[in-house]
Chain A
């Protein structure tokens, strides 16, 4: 089996696996819920704004733009909050597996002797990356499509910034105010990469974690803990007078166009992505060298 064949085999297996389909169902359900809640509310408000003020120049219309109600941008609605809290867990469930238990089931050995351990692991890591990425990208696209069907896509006006979700400190903010479609593309691509890298990092951890249930839940807990500890420390620093101190470096905020209370610049997001990429590669090397037990 050549390299392309094993990749195709693993991708087909990944995209037809029950956990991936269930995870996609969960994330799409959350995205659709968010789209309906935000868009219906905004559409109602828009009607009460546009009709009475027809013929007048009315600022703040871009606050009702579909891009402003998009899941990746909206921070007010509960549905988007739940989505971004849950998505790192969902993204890791898609195809991540413990290589050790996978090897014990027999099919891992069968594939290894045919294509070699290295090729197999790389194909699986690629499949895990794509699964994780798609589990966030597809719901974002679905959500934007629904918002675009229910609301007009005004180009956000920087004069309306007070009413808009994306501030100047947020990633791709320039694009948001000039070319929202390109913004949506860039945001989706970035989220695809982040969740994909998260999924593949979790997969790489199977070099040390044997139990599949522990493997697919403990990294999420670690992420939560990191967010909690950092926020507490930043709160302490702010109490001590260091105003503006603190940045969001966990996936929960980096996936959002307008994160929670803390600052999340693009360079920090890219640095975290790079760290996950390096971790994935190092863990992959460790997996290649570990015993095929």
Chain B
């Protein structure tokens, strides 16, 4: 099984590296666009209220792409702008991993499955490829944000009790989410590097779990239908504030670092791992027992 896993992953890498790289590049371009628009907005903002400079930090650039929205209460019945930028990131991640002829039951799946020698190894390789693509895309997003931050002249905290990365107090206003001033990311305490890494890891896991759910659904449904279902799953947290909606854990604005009633990294870890496990088990069940009959191209 282990050999089948390694060989299938190698085959996937050779066959899909270039198309996947192009899609990851598209995700990075989007992140770049989001950072540019944030800068533009900050410049206009500073010009209006006479601030010395738009004090954007590295966390602000990350928030421009991955903030999402904070607490949402539908009972208030207010009109508000949906955080489409965050949704774009999620959708792009889905599309990075969606087209995959080697694991498409209507394409090359019979051939690659038989040649790999193990159904379990084949399925695990499929999941590993999804996770790898998501990781690459996510690292690309973070790298783009850091690069924009560096170009902007964002300062790195130098040490001391309040040395953590902070969101600029105008960031929630610019990005359109409500935030409590007492939250660490906005107050003097800031977010330490460990906090940032913890949050980024949970965010990547959350997005990966959604992609894995999509991969499991592709085993049963046509790819565009699987994408539509996963899109509904990804959109739900934009309208419902609940920890069991895995997309919530990919939003910076819903973490305990930004809002007081936010979700902690441990909560995020539990929910995302549960989703990962469920997706992998579902896909494994489909792969292990299902007859592979008939190819449609």
Contact = CB atoms under 8 A, between A and B. Distances in A.
A233 to B, nearest CB: 8
Given A76-B74, A76-B77, A225-B88, A22 B221 contact: yes
B98 interface: yes
Interface in A188-246: 211-214, 216-218, 220-221, 224-225, 227-229, 231-233, 235-236, 239-241
A26 interface: yes
Interface in B211-236: 221-225, 227-229, 231-232, 235-236
A78 B242 CA distance: 12
B88 A224 contact: yes
B91 A236 contact: no
Interface residues of B, number: 48
B232 A105 contact: no
Given A78-B240, A89-B227, A228 B95 contact: no
A82 interface: yes
B82 interface: yes
Interface of A: 18-19, 22-23, 26, 30, 75-79, 81-82, 85-86, 89-90, 92-93, 101, 104-105, 165, 211-214, 216-218, 220-221, 224-225, 227-229, 231-233, 235-236, 239-241, 252, 258, 260-262
Contact of A236 (B44, B76, B85, B92): B44
A240 B40 CA distance: 11
B84 interface: yes
Contact of A239 (B45, B82, B84): B45
Contacts of B108: none
A85 B82 contact: yes
Given A22-B225, A213-B99, A228 B84 contact: yes
Interface of B: 30, 33-34, 37, 40-41, 44-45, 47-48, 72, 74-82, 84-85, 87-88, 91-92, 95, 98-99, 174, 176, 221-225, 227-229, 231-232, 235-236, 238-240, 296-297
Contact of B37 (A104, A212, A214, A236): A236
- Closest CB pairs A-B (n = 6): A78-B239, A76-B77, A81-B239, A216-B224, A228-B84, A232-B37
Nearest to A240: B44
Contact of B76 (A76, A239, A252): A76
Nearest to A29: B232
Nearest to A75: B79
Contact of A258 (B79, B92, B95): B79
B218 to A, nearest CB: 10
B41 A232 contact: yes
Given A79-B239, A229-B37, A224 B225 contact: no
B240 to A, nearest CB: 4
A166 B297 CA distance: 47
B220 to A, nearest CB: 10
24 contacts: A18-B222, A19-B222, A76-B74, A76-B78, A78-B236, A78-B238, A81-B82, A82-B232, A85-B235, A86-B232, A89-B227, A104-B297, A105-B296, A105-B297, A165-B77, A221-B92, A224-B84, A224-B88, A232-B41, A233-B37, A235-B174, A239-B41, A240-B44, A240-B48
A225 B87 CA distance: 10
Contact of B88 (A77, A216, A221, A258): A221
Contact of A86 (B79, B80, B228): B228
A159 to B, nearest CB: 18
A213 B224 CA distance: 6
B224 A262 contact: no
Contact of A89 (B72, B228, B238): B228
A217 B98 contact: yes
A218 B223 CA distance: 13
Contacts of A218: 95
A19 B228 CA distance: 11
A120 to B, nearest CB: 21
B87 A90 contact: no
Given A78-B240, A213-B98, A236-B40, A23 B228 contact: yes
Contacts of A93: 224-225, 228
Contact of B87 (A22, A92, A224, A235): A224
Nearest to A234: B81
Given A224-B88, A231-B84, A252-B82, 5 more contacts: A30-B232, A89-B231, A101-B297, A220-B91, A221-B95
A70 B34 CA distance: 34
Contacts of B95: 217-218, 221
A260 B176 CA distance: 13
Contacts of A233: 37
A77 B79 contact: no
Given A231-B81, A236-B40, A239-B41, A26 B222 contact: no
